[in-house]
Amino acid sequence: MTPRNYFQIVLLLLGVLLFPQTQRASSANQPAQGAQGERLFQSQCAGCHGPKGEGGSGPTLAAPLLTRATTEESLIKIIAEGIPGTEMPRSRLDREQIKQIAAFVRQLGQLPPERVPGDAARGKQIYETKGFCAQCHAINGRGGALGPDLTAIGLRRGARHLRTSLTDPEADVPKSFGVFRADASIPENFLQVRVVTNDGQRLGGVRVNEDTFSIQFRDAAGRIHSFFKSDLTELHKDWGKSQMPSYRDLLSNEELDDVVAYLITLRDAK
């Protein structure tokens, strides 16, 4: 255990010990706010976080402690401003409504947490051996770059969503987000692209960046290719496609549970 991990666990314990009392006090005082908060949650948040906050393409919120939002204030701030670099958008709801949603989210934390069957230690082993996951995914800077980085995947996705991703990778591929990019930015949707060059070469890979005149992608061997679009005769974007194999037939049900249990433990927000 590194000193930093140790420090985080101490913080986590402190949060669990201190926070439930404050949230109970605030939500008990305002039952009407909770009902309004639930309504807003269903229209604004449930799409990604699940109707009961159980998680989906967004992380579970039915947890006693939210690592990114350890205080009421930080939760409100995240709802209001979003989380840059993730799919979590800023909200344009007014402050009162955001407070109502926050109160509801805090109530979710009092529900019994979603039980994740499976053994995380076994899952880690499967990830590193027969799953070959690290060929395409990285954790803490080790592994491939053809698929999303999994260092903090437990913070970003719920268990059910992760299990579906393993058995049916194309059910919900990472989406593009951020129409209003502050700067020339790098897409994070791992879009599969195929090109044919003017001299007849056929290449493909995961898009790393694109602009009006050029495209960059990473092939299966990890090589970066960069082309001006004027040097290509064909450019195909395979929206909704994923190169990830389905693990439905490669792993048993128990093994899938184990991998999910492991992925859920990856919560290092850095």
Partner 1 sequence: MKKIIFLLLLTQTALAQVTYERILRAENEPANWLTYSGNYQGHRFSPLKQINTANVAALKPVWMYQMRDPGKVATSPIVVDGILYVTEKPHVVTALDGKTGRPLWSYRRPVPPDIRGCCGQPNRGLAILDDTLFLGTMDSRLVALDMRTGKPRWEVTIADYKLGHSITVAPLALKDKVIVGIAGGEFGIRGFLDAYDAKTGKLCWRLWTIPGPGEPGRETWEGDSWKTGGAPTWVTGAYDPELNLLYWGTGNPGPDWNGDDREGDNLYSDCLLAIDPDTGKLKWHFQFTPHDVHDWDANQTPALIDGTVDGRPRKLVVTANRNGFYYVLDRVTGEFLRGAPFIKQTWAKGLDAKGRPIRLPDTFPTTDGTVVYPGIGGGTNWQSPSWSPPTRLFYVMAHDGQRQTYFKNKEEYRPGELFEGGGFRNLPGDEPPGAVKALEAETGKVRWEFKTHSYVSAGLLSTAGGLVFGSSGEGHFLALDAESGKPLWRFQTGARISANPISYLVDGKQQVAIASGQTLLVFGID
Please give the residue ranges that form the binding site for partner 1 (CB under 8 A): 43-44, 87, 89, 91-94, 97, 175-184, 187, 189, 210-213, 239
- Minimum distance from residue 257 beta carbon to partner 1 (Å): 28
- Minimum distance from residue 50 beta carbon to partner 1 (Å): 16
Q: Which is nearer to partner 1, 88 or 256 (CB)?
A: 88
Q: Which is nearer to partner 1, 119 or 188 (CB)?
A: 188
Sheet of strand 214-218: strand arrangement:
224-228, 214-218, 202-210, 192-197, 232-238
With helix as H, strand as E and coil as C, how does 34-58 read? HHHHHHHHHHHCHHHHCCCCCCCCC
- Minimum distance from residue 221 beta carbon to partner 1 (Å): 26
The whole-angstrom separation of Cα 211 and Cα 231 is: 14
42 phi/psi in degrees, rounded to 5: -65, -40
Report which of 118, 103, 82 is spatially closest to residue 24, judged by C-alpha positions: 103
Q: Which is nearer to partner 1, 92 or 142 (CB)?
A: 92
- Minimum distance from residue 228 beta carbon to partner 1 (Å): 11
- Give the amino acid at 134: A
- Minimum distance from residue 268 beta carbon to partner 1 (Å): 25
Q: Which is nearer to partner 1, 44 or 165 (CB)?
A: 44
Contact 149, 157 (CB under 8 A): no
Residues 6 or more apart from 146 whose CB is under 8 A from it?
Answer: 135, 136, 137, 190, 205, 206, 218, 220, 222, 243
The whole-angstrom separation of Cα 233 and Cα 252 is: 44
Q: Which is nearer to partner 1, 231 or 254 (CB)?
A: 231
Q: Which is nearer to partner 1, 5 or 43 (CB)?
A: 43
Name the strand (E) or helix (H) holding 143.
strand 142-143
Q: Which is nearer to partner 1, 19 or 190 (CB)?
A: 190
Q: Which is nearer to partner 1, 162 or 259 (CB)?
A: 162
Contact 229, 214 (CB under 8 A): yes
The whole-angstrom separation of Cα 206 and Cα 192 is: 5
- Minimum distance from residue 39 beta carbon to partner 1 (Å): 8
- Minimum distance from residue 224 beta carbon to partner 1 (Å): 17
- Minimum distance from residue 176 beta carbon to partner 1 (Å): 5
Question: What are 237's strand-pairing partners?
Answer: 193
